[in-house]
Amino acid sequence: MKFKLQNIAIAAGVALAAMSAPALAGSIKIGFNVPLTGFAAADGNSALVGAQLAVEQVNGAGGINGDMLELVVYDDQASPKESAPLAVKLITQDEVVAGISGSYSGATRAAATIYQEDATPYIAAYAVHPDITRAGDYVFRTSFMGEVQGRAGAKLIGGMMGLKRVAMITLNNDFGKSLATGFKAQAANFGIEIVSEYEYSIKDREFGPIVSSVRADAPDAIYASGYFFTAGPLVRQLRAAGIEVPVIGQEGYDTQKFIEIAGPAAEGVIITTSLDRDSTDPVTQSFIEGFEAKAGYPADMVGASAHTAVLVMAEALRAAGGGGKAALRDAIAATSIDASTGHISFNGLGEVRKDVQVQIVKDGNWRHYAVISDPALLAPPEE
Amino acid sequence: MLFLDLTVQGLVQGAIYALIALGLTLVYGLLRILHVAHAALFTLGGYLGVIITNQTGSFALALVVAMAAVGVIGIGVYRFAYKPLLAHPPLVALIASIGLFIASEEVFRLVFGPYGLSFTDPPLQTQVEILPGIFLSHARLMVIAIAVVFLGLLGWLSASTRTGIAWRATVADPDMARSFGIDVERVRYLNFFIGSALAAAAGVMVALLNNLVEPTMGAVPAYKALAIIVLGGLGSVRGTLVASLALGVIEAFGTIYIGHLLDRDAIAFAFLIIILMVRPQGLLARG
């Protein structure tokens, strides 16, 4: 009897000690809203893998001064109706110290106002709408505003490729329209004449009328905005109609899936984006290899952007050294690191300053084409 | 030339709408149910078409199997979702249909993945110059061919065969038809089989034209097909046909000339509203 009781007491004691050991290492919670279901589920999955990879890499290297990063992930279906209450939940119930958005502009905008009101830092990984950072000084963005990328597109087509007559095919949402605005603002400076502009909705996959009209316009180049599930069919239909002129897109195309859908039509398509597959930078290379191993498909811009956002957050947490949310915000604002999408620093509004990578599809893969390094042209607005 | 080109594009799109909306009109004519879940069968047809072509290399086989399989599943939808609800007001079946459709989008995502599927080697891609300056791929020509052939077959079936006459009798007056010895249940099975098979054919062709099937590809056809059958006159097959083609052409011109004001769906519905204001019963309403 006594022997057995003693055994139980010892066993209980050991078990308690074992259970409490991990609790000695603190965990730093970061909120992460991402579309895991709905129309944007594909990008959401990439964003999640990119973010998780970054967390693993950070924790594997010892975490933040011994504390481990923990991502608190919620599915927002790329909808503001979901992301807003989720932001409230993350801040009040899960008590995250900061948040990252792995979602599209609509959802990110809604969540940003909530994070700003609660003085909790928020980094938008790849959402492009200009008003996101205007929510306040606690909101940052690690990817290009649509307008900035549009300006880069104008320099690429008019200045670097020397093509003058351009037909625009614009996706009529936040993403496409902000790209078009930036492109049109700079077009004249690079000698571009916009011969026509056609708009389409995010639900369209059939572009017969637009393709016919573009063929009748006979431009030197086509500047088309969209995501892989619209750009893939569009490029395929353009080439099938015998339109051979260069097609220039943006980071919405930046997935292997685009190449799969467009097939041989994808060859030679050029995009402005943030991820350089041929980069020799060790952080980028380790991201590309790690992402493909973890996801089972090649790296894309969305995964790279989420990865970058987590790295920025981790570095800022290290610098702030447990000083609370205001100190974290200041540390983020002072960021200057090399991440998978280039050298990252922020301006006064919280907008990123970095070079634009230009990639081209060669032999069924995205490859380096050029870099646009023009701080004056690419300067995001200060307010 | 652009004018003619756009008209041809519009007719191709209209043919696809016709294949989808016809099944909807057939079900409405027979049972007065708005079969929203029809769009789920369209999507399933597309997925089966891509998967079977990728596995076997034969597009023809994929088309036949997709149509047959989805036809049978369509009968299943009637048997297990609508038949138990026939005693209740049609609104109940409509809600069940909507629920089925919403669930189907997520089932497709869970089973086939969120990224969508593409053909590894899409067939029928070569271009043919059908008129000077107007090129259509074999795939688009096939859409027109399929629409003409199947709708022609349907017309012949309903006018000249015993089955077709039994079908029309059941639509007109089920009780009278029953008293003449017609098996109303078999007619309903046939109705769902044909409508669903046509939707599957539309799904396969759309998959081929875009080289992409996605879990949510049925979302737009779900409500647009409803708009088309209203536009054509509820229950009128000819009306559905005319409305489908008209809508395809209106969208083709609208997206080019007023695309900066309204998007494709807005144009479609604006057209619907204008027609209904002038002719509330639809273009070719019955009786």
What pLDDT score does A351 carry?
Answer: 93
Backbone dihedral region for residue A26 (phi beyond 0: left; psi -120 to 50: alpha; all else: beta): beta
Domains of chain A: 24-144+279-350 (3.40.50.2300), 147-273+359-378 (3.40.50.2300)
Answer whether residue B149 shows pLDDT above 60.
Answer: yes
Beta A165-171 vs A122-124: how paired, if at all?
A: unpaired
Q: Taking the alpha carbons of B257, B263, B267, B273 in that order, is the dihedral positive or negative? A: negative
Confidence of residue A57 (pLDDT cuts 50, 70, 90): very high
Which ipTM did the prediction report? 0.85
- % of chain A beyond a pLDDT of 90: 80
Burial of A35 (0-12, 13-18, 19+ CB in 10 A): buried
CA distance, residue A240 to nearest chain B CA (Å)? 7
CA distance, residue A262 to nearest chain B CA (Å)? 8
Which residues have CB under 8 Å from B169's CB, separation 6+?
A: B176, B177, B180, B182
Cβ-defined contact of B212 to A172 (cutoff 8 Å): no
Residues of B in contact with A39 (CB under 8 A): 214, 216
Confidence of residue B44 (pLDDT cuts 50, 70, 90): very high
What pLDDT score does A15 carry?
Answer: 57
Distance (Å, rounded) from C-alpha A205 to C-alpha A209?
A: 12
Q: Which site among B3, B4, B9 would you substitute to test the A interface, given the most A Cβ atoms closer than 10 Å to its Cβ?
A: B9
Burial of A24 (0-12, 13-18, 19+ CB in 10 A): exposed
Beta bridge partners of A200: A171
Confidence of residue A24 (pLDDT cuts 50, 70, 90): very low
Q: Which site among A43, A213, A227 would you substitute to test the B interface, given the most B Cβ atoms closer than 10 Å to its Cβ?
A: A213
Higher per-residue pLDDT: A340 or A10: A340
Confidence of residue A261 (pLDDT cuts 50, 70, 90): very high
Higher per-residue pLDDT: A8 or A199: A199
- The per-residue pLDDT for range A270-312, each reduced to its tens digit, is 999 999 999 999 999 999 999 999 999 999 999 999 999 999 9
Residues of A in contact with B1 (CB under 8 A): 216
What pLDDT score does B284 carry?
Answer: 82
Cα angle value A321/A325/A331 (rounded, 5°) = 55
What pLDDT score does A106 carry?
Answer: 87
Distance (Å, rounded) from C-alpha A217 to C-alpha A237?
A: 16
Cβ-defined contact of A212 to B6 (cutoff 8 Å): yes
Answer whether residue B86 shows pLDDT above 50.
Answer: yes
How many CB atoms within 10 Å of residue B184?
15
Answer whether residue B199 shows pLDDT above 60.
Answer: yes
Higher per-residue pLDDT: A161 or B161: A161
In 3D space, the residue among A214, A243, A219, A221 whose CA is nearest the CA of residue A156 turns out to be A221
In 3D space, the residue among B97, B238, B266, B214 whose CA is nearest the CA of residue A38 turns out to be B214
CA-nearest residue to A243 within chain B is B135
In 3D space, the residue among B121, B122, B125, B118 whose CA is nearest the CA of residue B139 turns out to be B125
Confidence of residue B162 (pLDDT cuts 50, 70, 90): confident
What pLDDT score does A10 carry?
Answer: 63
Answer whether residue A333 shows pLDDT above 60.
Answer: yes
Of the candidates A38, A42, A233, which has its C-beta nearest B210's C-beta? A233
- The per-residue pLDDT for range B210-245, each reduced to its tens digit, is 899 999 899 999 989 999 999 998 878 888 899 999
Confidence of residue A3 (pLDDT cuts 50, 70, 90): low
Cβ-defined contact of A257 to B1 (cutoff 8 Å): no
- The per-residue pLDDT for range A142-191, each reduced to its tens digit, is 999 889 999 999 999 999 999 999 999 999 988 899 999 999 999 999 99
CA distance, residue B263 to nearest chain A CA (Å)? 6
Residue position matching structure tokens 């952007």: A305
CA distance, residue B218 to nearest chain A CA (Å)? 10
Beta bridge partners of A272: A358
Q: What is the mean predicted confidence (pLDDT) over A232-237?
A: 94
Contacts 24+ apart (CB under 8 A), B127-135: B127/A240, B127/A241, B127/A242, B130/B8, B131/B4, B131/B8, B132/B1, B133/B1, B133/B5, B134/B1, B134/B4, B134/B5, B134/B8, B135/A241, B135/A242
How many CB atoms within 10 Å of residue A375?
9
Cβ-defined contact of B264 to A45 (cutoff 8 Å): no
Contacts 24+ apart (CB under 8 A), B140-144: B140/A208, B140/B12, B140/B209, B142/B205, B142/B208, B143/B12, B143/B15, B143/B16, B143/B205, B143/B209, B144/B11, B144/B12, B144/B15
